[in-house]
Amino acid sequence: MREPVLVSGCRGTIRPMASPDTGLPRSIGAPATRALTAAGYTELSQLANVPAAELGKLHGVGPKALRLLQEALQEQGMSLG
């Protein structure tokens, strides 16, 4: 049997980091969420009319995330620029 992993000075199980509660769709994934948050986008509505090409330049925001963001915006009557 393996020894429990020592994490931050405590013995126990490894748990995934809690993701920050943002107004972005969870389906876009953690890398895209981190990239958008670091760029100052914390709410889906802030992405309305932002060019997809601009967002695609952010490391972590790929074609799938852009598609999911566009779909989420369209559900609210908005779209990427």
Domain count, the chain: 1
Give domain status of residue 16, yes or no.
Answer: no
d(CA 5, CA 21): 28
What is the torsional sign of CA 28, 34, 35, 41?
Answer: positive
Question: Tell me, what's the pLDDT at 12?
Answer: 55
Per-residue pLDDT of the chain (81 residues; tens, 9 = 90+): 555 555 555 555 544 444 455 699 999 999 999 999 999 999 999 999 999 999 999 999 999 999 999 999 999 999 999
In a domain, 80, yes or no: yes
How many CA atoms lie less than 13 Å away from 17 in the CB half-sphere? Answer: 6
Domain that holds residue 80: 23-81
24 CB neighbour count, 10 Å cutoff: 23
